[in-house]
Structure 1
Amino acid sequence: MTDPFYIGIRFALYADLMLLFGLPLFAIYTREERENFPNRRRMLGCLAVLGLALSALSLAAMTASMAGVAILDIDRASIWAMVSETPMGKAWSVRMTALAMVAIILVHPRAPAVPAALGAVALGSLAWTGHGAAGEGSAGTVQLVGDLVHLMAAGAWLGALVALGMMLWAGETVKATHRALARFAAGGTVIVAAVVGSGLVNGLCLVGWSNLGRLPFTLYGQLLLLKLALVGGMLAVAAINRFRLTPALGTAKSQDVTSARRALSRSLMLETVAAVAILGLVAWLGTLAPPMSP
């Protein structure tokens, strides 16, 4: 189904769940939970509630597509059959439970570990609604695991970008911002390696070596190549951030701090825009048949 409405739902749901997982995870490995995390509870609560609404819309859209009717014409029996009889429906139920728990526990918690774990469950459930769950046997298991790792790594990356951007744009001290960036460096290396590695696994499973030459001549291939180009751009910008702009912020004299912050802010903004564009392409690609599909 290539309905723009459904693609938009997928895009919003992916972005929402990635942030719901990535933001508290960032607080864990940068050890900022005592500083900024309590102030982000309301944001995470809003993301959880939004995730519930988007998940409900997504289920309705998938049910309507499978029934061949408009989204407003689906009945309760079709919805129930989708939830109770399909892997997508069961994954949806797990996601809704996890999101509801996030919304409830964020009334009181001071630590991000539980929201991060529940966010991982909610984000991981998306693997059962896409191409990653279409394989069979051992190859299907590899494909599903690759999709799960890709989702988690992408969520961690997006969450870090947004968290770092919030610190810069909210006027956090140079010391606090540089400390967070330095702590993100090691985690960021693992995240990038996971994104690239799982992406290669997914590419081989969905495209295959024999179909590489066909990619420029199909819509799926063109979108995939554009996505890969944007990922390459993000990797280049991330390298500049780590090896040039972050050290420059840490060593900047008082009169140069503003310039260093602005340079880093512009770089993070560029990286975030590329990430948003990639999410849009992922939402679109998920509605198209890959070359390896029967």
Structure 2
Amino acid sequence: MSDMVAIAVRLGLYLDLMPLFGLPMFGLYTLRGAERASGSVLRFRSVLATMALVGVGLSMLDMMVLAASMGGLPINQVDRATVNHLISSTTIGTVWQVRVAALLLVLYFSVVGWRRPAFALWSLAVTAAVALATLAWTGHGATGEGLQGWVHLGADTTHLWAAGIWVGALFALCFLIFRPTARMTIDHIHLYHRALDGFSKVEAALVGLLILSGVINSWILIGPSRLGSLFTSLCGLLLVAKLILFGVMLMLAAANRFFLTPYLAATIETGNTSSAIKALRRSFVIETGCALAILERFPQPLNREGFQRL
């Protein structure tokens, strides 16, 4: 039961911290000028502040779950002294402090930083990137040693950042495309087309980073000698399923870039955009569903051995 709680909390952190980083990045590479202000296109202030608070709460719960796991106790029997010891006297506690500090900075910039929207988005992106990277610092990427350990940690962090930018873009694009039809003016449709075009320009780089970092991680975790066991073990089958879902996301991304986005541009000229918008909505629902399914198997909390190595 405790393992299931740990996995659920870890999944919650991924679902929270990825878009927390990806949303301000979306604002930086897609929106322009006054569009970056909170509430102009996206409600950055309220959404990011809420996500930062959720991240702090999940981080506290994560530390309690870890303390319960290390002591072999139910979570409701963990005492404050044990939690304080983990936070103040272990490497994983130091990483936890960095995450919480970064999330509190995200909360600060979300609330007070909007006199200069570009500065606010850059500050939010940097601090959220630190918070997201701590998930790699407390995962399997942090248990290696020597040069290989650093390569694994770097690849794991890069994988998280690239995935965060992609997931954040999916969240933002879904929010824009699912605006009620009655409120979807021609200016909004033009903005959505530009947002799609802006995302397509960074998508190729994200795909490259995800593939490269994924190959490095798989090579280190699985190794060439165990490639044959991919189809005979549960972990191997889950990895294959994740790769298949990622392939589906790549096909949908290609369809969006080379077919649906140009189709939307053509329908803007004719004034009948309903069919293009419906096709884009279907595509992004499926792509977001694939991303969530991949994340469901992504989080892997440390076991006792991994914790001791940290």
TM-score interval (norm. to shorter): over 0.9
Aligned position for 2:173: 164
How do 1:126-137 residues align onto structure 2 when only pairs under 5 Å count? 126-137=135-146
Give the distance between the partners of 2:209 and 2:45, measured in 1 at CA.
28
> Within the alignment, does 1:53 sit opposite 2:69 as a pair?
no
CA shift digits 1:59-88 (9 cap, x unpaired): 111111111111111122221221123222
Aligned position for 1:119: 128
Q: Closer, same or farther in 2 for the Cα pair 1:32/1:161, shift >3 Å? A: farther
Give the distance between the partners of 2:49 and 2:126, measured in 1 at CA.
15
2:28–2:36 CA contact under 8 A, matched in 1: no
Residue of 195, 206, 211 corresponding to 1:180: 195
Residue of 189, 199, 224 corresponding to 2:239: 224
Q: Which moved more, 1:54-63 or 1:248-257?
A: 248-257
Deviation at 1:32, TM superposition (A): 4.1
Give the distance between the partners of 1:164 and 1:157, measured in 2 at CA.
10
How do 1:1-294 residues align onto structure 2 when only pairs under 5 Å count? 3-32=3-32, 34-35=34-35, 37-39=37-39, 40-110=44-114, 111=117, 112-170=121-179, 171=184, 173-252=188-267, 253-283=269-299, 285-286=300-301
Give the distance between the partners of 2:106 and 2:234, measured in 1 at CA.
38
Q: Which stretches in structure 2 are left out of the alignment for 5+ residues?
A: none
Give the distance between the partners of 1:66 and 1:223, measured in 2 at CA.
27
Deviation at 1:251, TM superposition (A): 1.3
Given residue 97 of structure 2, which amino acid in structure 1 is its aligned partner?
S
Give the distance between the partners of 2:302 and 2:102, measured in 1 at CA.
25
Given residue 115 of structure 1, which amino acid in structure 2 is its aligned partner?
L
Given residue 271 of structure 1, which amino acid in structure 2 is its aligned partner?
E
Give the distance between the partners of 1:277 and 1:75, measured in 2 at CA.
35
Give the distance between the partners of 1:29 and 1:80, measured in 2 at CA.
41
1:149–1:194 CA contact under 8 A, matched in 2: yes
Q: Which stretches in structure 1 are left out of the alignment for 5+ residues?
A: none
Give aligned pairs, total: 289
1:2–1:288 CA contact under 8 A, matched in 2: no
SS at match of 2:68: helix
Given residue 97 of structure 1, which amino acid in structure 2 is its aligned partner?
A
2:162–2:209 CA contact under 8 A, matched in 1: yes
Give the distance between the partners of 2:132 and 2:156, measured in 1 at CA.
11
Given residue 279 of structure 2, which amino acid in structure 1 is its aligned partner?
A
Q: Closer, same or farther in 2 for the Cα pair 1:2/1:231, shift >3 Å? A: farther
CA shift digits 1:74-123 (9 cap, x unpaired): 12222122112322211110000011111122222222111111100100
Give the distance between the partners of 2:155 and 2:136, measured in 1 at CA.
9
Give the distance between the partners of 2:88 and 2:77, measured in 1 at CA.
20
1:49–1:99 CA contact under 8 A, matched in 2: yes
Question: TM-score if structure 2 supplies the norm length?
Answer: 0.89
CA shift digits 1:171-203 (9 cap, x unpaired): 362211111111111111111111111111111
Give the distance between the partners of 2:147 and 2:85, measured in 1 at CA.
28
1:27–1:33 CA contact under 8 A, matched in 2: no
Give the distance between the partners of 1:42 and 1:162, measured in 2 at CA.
15
Given residue 164 of structure 1, which amino acid in structure 2 is its aligned partner?
L
